[in-house]
């Protein structure tokens, strides 16, 4: 019997009466009332009603074909750009990190990586196969799925600059092959089809010196570790950089470095990072984000656009 069907069903929220029994062919693991603090880089967040860990893309397709709830579906990779509120998530979380983890070379210069593969892994894999121009991915602390969703970038490079095509899945479990021209891509923003999610990307790279590329990746990581609080729980950059300026500069010159609310603090090392000092709640972090945005707007006349995504219910 499937591990999903073998589980004892705990009490679920009202929306649960819309869920149907899953097929025996589903091989993944379905959890209930899963603490999201275990799955976000800020280490905060309430419980998700339902939390599914697919075995692979085919298993995910079967799950979606059988999961007839009309509740929202949320996709989580490393949770590195995500704030889940303390009241948790009324809906279903699908976890990709460490699960949708295939990576391969399809052609002499095409690397295919599934949505759960960590971005730095793609940069190293490419370099080891003498493919260059993916080095910037080493500076993105998330998965390919998240990088596609927000056109993540680092060290002057952006994800969609290297995309040949993507693979997506819809709510009915149907798979699609899409091309960049089907999306509106801009700085930290990607607009595409509703109810279709990324499950893999195909990167078009350039043949080159892999050893040199690996050395360059090492230098980039040393630069990142020297300028960012990588040893503390955070989401990476909280705000997008405004045109011709830097969010960190605006925050620092507003005198906000070190500002603390509860267990949340504006990092003294990099002002565009908010860190969890050990006992922060999601409410602490969200309140500090609002204070920083308001203060910068009052002092500089610039309203910072939030890069971190916030989901869930207020406790």
CA angle 114, 89, 263 (to 5 degrees): 95
pTM: predicted TM-score of the whole model, two decimal places: 0.88
| Strand extents, DSSP E, 54-186 | 73-76, 82-84, 89-95, 103-107, 110-114, 131-132, 153-154, 157-158, 163-170, 175-178, 184-186
Q: So what's the pLDDT on residue 70? A: 78
Rounded to whole angstroms, the Cα distance separating 140 from 224 reads 10
User: What CATH number has the domain spanning 231-311?
Assistant: 3.90.78.10
All residues at 6 or more sequence positions from 225 whose CB lies less than 8 Å from its CB, including other chains:
none
pLDDT at site 15: 43
Q: Give me the residues of the chain with pLDDT under 50, please.
A: 1-20
| DSSP code per residue over 70-96 | -S-EEEESS-TTEEE-TT-EEEEEEE-
d(CA 251, CA 88): 29
Sequence-ordered list of residues with C-beta below 8 angstroms from that of 53, at least 6 positions apart, any chain: 28, 29, 30, 31, 95, 99
- Within 13 A of 148's CA, how many CA atoms are on the CB side? 31
The answer to whether 183 touches 192, Cβ cutoff 8 Å, is: yes
Which pLDDT belongs to residue 23? 63
Instruction: Give residue 16's pLDDT.
Output: 43
**Region of 99 on the Ramachandran plot (φ > 0 left; ψ -120 to 50 alpha; else beta):** alpha
Active site (catalytic) residues: 188, 237, 307
Looking at 3.10.20.600, 3.30.43.10, 3.40.228.10, 2.40.40.20, the CATH number of the domain 11-95 comes to 3.30.43.10
Determine the topology of domain 103-226 in CATH: 3.30.465
Domains 11-95 and 231-311 share a fold: no
Q: Are strands 131-132 and 89-95 parallel, antiparallel or unpaired?
A: unpaired
Residue spans per domain, the chain: 11-95, 103-226, 231-311
* Sign of the torsion formed by the C-alpha atoms of 85, 89, 94 and 98: positive
């Amino acid at each position: 019997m499937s591990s999903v069907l073998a589980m004892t069903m705990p009490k679920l929220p009202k929306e649960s009466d819309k869920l149907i029994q899953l097929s025996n062919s589903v091989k993944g693991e379905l959890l209930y009332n899963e603490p999201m603090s275990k799955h976000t880089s800020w280490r905060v967040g309430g419980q998700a009603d339902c939390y599914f860990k697919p075995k692979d893309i085919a298993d995910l397709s079967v799950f979606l074909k059988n999961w007839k709830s009309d509740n929202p579906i949320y996709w989580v990779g490393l949770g590195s750009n995500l704030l889940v509120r303390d009241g948790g998530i009324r809906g279903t979380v699908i976890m990709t990190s460490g699960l949708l983890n295939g990576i391969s070379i399809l052609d002499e210069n095409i690397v295919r990586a599934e949505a759960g593969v960590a971005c730095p892994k793609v940069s190293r894999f490419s370099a080891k196969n003498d493919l260059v121009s993916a080095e910037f991915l080493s500076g993105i602390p998330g998965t390919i799925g998240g990088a596609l969703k927000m056109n993540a970038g680092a060290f002057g490079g952006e994800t969609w600059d290297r995309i040949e095509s993507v693979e997506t899945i819809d709510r009915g479990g149907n798979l699609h092959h899409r091309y960049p021209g089907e999306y509106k891509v801009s700085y930290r923003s990607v607009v595409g089809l509703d109810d279709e999610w990324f499950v893999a990307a195909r990167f078009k790279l350039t043949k080159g010196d892999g050893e040199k590329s690996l050395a360059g990746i090492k230098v980039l990581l040393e630069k990142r570790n020297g300028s960012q609080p990588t040893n503390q729980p955070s989401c990476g950059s909280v705000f997008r950089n405004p045109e011709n300026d830097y969010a960190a500069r605006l925050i620092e010159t507003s005198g906000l470095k070190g500002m603390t609310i509860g267990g949340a603090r504006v990092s003294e090392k990099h002002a565009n990072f908010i860190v969890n000092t050990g006992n922060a709640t999601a409410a602490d972090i969200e309140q500090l984000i609002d204070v920083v945005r308001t203060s910068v707007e009052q002092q500089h006349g610039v309203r910072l656009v939030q890069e971190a995504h916030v989901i869930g219910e207020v406790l």
